[in-house]
Amino acid sequence: MKARVKSIYRHLKKPVDAIVLSNSTEPHIDMSFFYATGLTDGLFEGCTAWLFPDGRCEIVTSALEEEAAKKSGLPLHIFRNRDERIAAMRRLLKGLRRIGINASEITQKAYAELTKLAPKARFSDVSDAVMKTRLVKDEAEIELIRTACGIASRSFEQTLPFIKSGRTESEVAAELVYTMQKNGATGPAFRTIVGAGPNSAEPHYTAGPREIRQGDLIVIDFGALFKMYHSDVTRTVVVGDASPEQREMYDTVRRAQDAAMEKLRPGIKGKSVDAAARKLIDATKYKGRFIHGLGHSIGLATHDGGGLNSVSDIVLRPSMVFTNEPGVYVSGFGGVRIEDDVLITKGGPEILSTASRDLIRVG
């Protein structure tokens, strides 16, 4: 993991003697801890990763996580109680005058503890350097994301026959999550969305007791977690034959996604990719119905730090992975969203999520 640590240091605006990535209790876990250590198992509550300019990384870990931590091959400082944890941190802090913290993730309590242990040190926020480093995936990360995308795509296709009138949204979500884990997922990447009928017009709906009915549009937003790496895919299906209005809405979103896909190339700014999809939708009767950003980086988190939206100045580079997910939402009628995970390459976009992007008839 030395290359990852050195990359973070290369992105720093000001030099530091060490960077401390601190975990508190779930959900306050800094996924950059796992990025720097290369660990893909364990929770590591109350643990810290210590990164040094020469690329070294050391872990202060609880005895609870010792077996998982050993898999990193990194130097370990094992504690069994609070006093031992504090003593280990004091040893590592000795002589440090400039310390970097990931201010986007550290809790106030953890930060206060560090400042108390090193009262003469100067602390600086290195979250921008961490984010910029994590945006560009290495080969190991790309393969894990590719696997997560494959599991999600295959599981969705296997779940399609289950979706029919009379099933509830929650039943469909449960079947899809079960199928993903049966196909090798560590778990779902996030809470699965199954929004049927008018519920499909709510972008971050989850899955409830509503029964699926003939004629419903159903937005299904799902992802597989594989060794801590995420996929994030959305497909919209229709129960029975699509009405002309449903098909027009779907075709509009599909064309918008295709327009954005053409822009997902090295050297293009994130806001230009968003504009390609937004311009197409706003030229139709659905103007103003695309109410969110086009996409986000994906990796150790579902929303992994960077976004594709109207103000994004991120310049695309090879080995970045973003979602491309335009949508149209009409309250009381329904919505359509199509989302794929896309790897930026020198030759153009590579779509990692392989499920069909056509409007699929179910039920």
- Tens of pLDDT along 48-97? 999 999 999 999 999 999 999 999 999 999 999 999 999 999 999 999 99
DSSP code string of 277-310? HHHHHHTSTTTT---S-SEEB-SSSSS-S-EEST
Which value, to the nearest 10 degrees, does the dihedral of the CA atoms of residues 182, 169, 148, 42 take? -70
φ/ψ of residue 321, rounded to 5 = -130, 120
HEC profile for 10-50? HCCCCCCCEEEEECCCCCCCCHHHHHHHCCCCCCCCCCEEE
Distance, in Å, from the CA atom of 121 to the CA atom of 93, rounded to the nearest integer, reads 9
Work out the average pLDDT over 118-125: 97
Contact predicate 133/4, CB 8 Å: yes
pLDDT of 31 higher than 90: yes
**Distance between CA 135 and CA 261 in Å, rounded?**
18
Do strands 340-345 and 321-324 pair parallel, antiparallel, or not at all (unpaired)? antiparallel
Distance (Å, whole) CA 62 – CA 48: 10
Amino acid sitting at position 279: K
**Per-residue pLDDT at 346:** 97
Do residues 85 and 23 lie in contact, with contact meaning Cβ atoms separated by under 8 Å? no
Q: What is the mean pLDDT of residues 284-308?
A: 96
Give domain 139-362's CATH number out of 3.90.190.10, 3.90.230.10, 3.40.1010.10, 3.20.20.140.
3.90.230.10
Residues 6+ apart with CB under 8 A from 338: 234, 235, 236, 253, 254, 257, 325, 326, 327, 357
The predicted structure's pLDDT at residue 1: 85
- Please tell me the predicted confidence (pLDDT) of residue 340: 98
Q: Alpha carbon of 252 to those of 76, 287, 327, 362: distances in Å?
A: 54, 11, 9, 21
- Spatial distance between the Cα atoms of 234 and 222, rounded to a whole number of angstroms: 6
Residues 6+ positions from 329 with CB-CB distance below 8 Å: 200, 201, 202, 203, 289, 291, 335
For 2-134, CATH number out of 1.10.3720.10, 1.10.760.10, 3.40.350.10, 3.40.50.11780 equals 3.40.350.10
CA dihedral for 52, 54, 57, 58, sign (positive or negative): negative
Give per-residue pLDDT as tens, 239-281.
999 999 999 999 999 999 999 999 999 999 999 999 999 999 9
Domain boundary assignment for the chain: 2-134, 139-362
pTM comes to: 0.96
- For residue 305, pLDDT over 90 is answered with no
**Rounded Cα–Cα distance for residues 160 and 150 (Å):** 16
Both tokens assigned to 2: 């030395």
Task: State the residue for tokens 């010792």.
Answer: 66
